[in-house]
Amino acid sequence: MTGSTRSSVKVMLDASAILAWVFEEKGFSAIEQVLDAAAITSANMVEVLYVAMSRGYPGDVEVLHEDLLDTGLLEVAVTEADSVRAAELISLSRDQRQHPNDPALSLGDGLCIAVAERMGLPIAGGDEHWDDLTLRTPYHLFR
């Protein structure tokens, strides 16, 4: 297993948290403090890597992936049950919108929450609209 051991993981990070750290954006120092005790889903890791490339990350994406894991960040696979829970969460978030243009959970968001719930971890992320959802785990804005 790469990164932290499961017992040392204290928080689930969404892609925006890792991207803030990579690009030293607002809130990156808070993420830096927990990175060695954090997890990210494999789906969210994909998002981090392709968004970093699209935003002009100067290095090799494979090296970025290795560097992230070298911090102690644990990459967690998605299970079949996580897929079902993520679909429920995404559907609920879309149903709760007041207007069609209001934010709803993305695929990565839903999987991040589902895996965090399964692992019993709080989540640190950058999306304010998650506060409007009924989650089975605490959610904290990192910015």
Domain ranges of the chain: 6-141
Query: What pTM does this model have?
Result: 0.90
What is the DSSP secondary structure assignment for residue 36, as one 8-state letter?
G
Q: Give the angle subtended at the CA of 111 by the CAs of 106 and 114, to the nearest 5°.
A: 125
CATH code, 6-141: 3.40.50.1010
pLDDT in tens, 102-114: 889 999 999 999 9
The helix/strand/coil state of 75 is strand
Given a cut of 80, whether residue 134 has pLDDT beyond it is: yes
Amino acid letter, residue 10: K
pLDDT in tens, 57-94: 999 999 999 999 999 999 999 999 999 999 999 999 99
The helix/strand/coil state of 123 is strand
- Calculated CA dihedral for residues 91, 97, 101, 105, nearest 10 degrees: -40
pLDDT at 48: 98
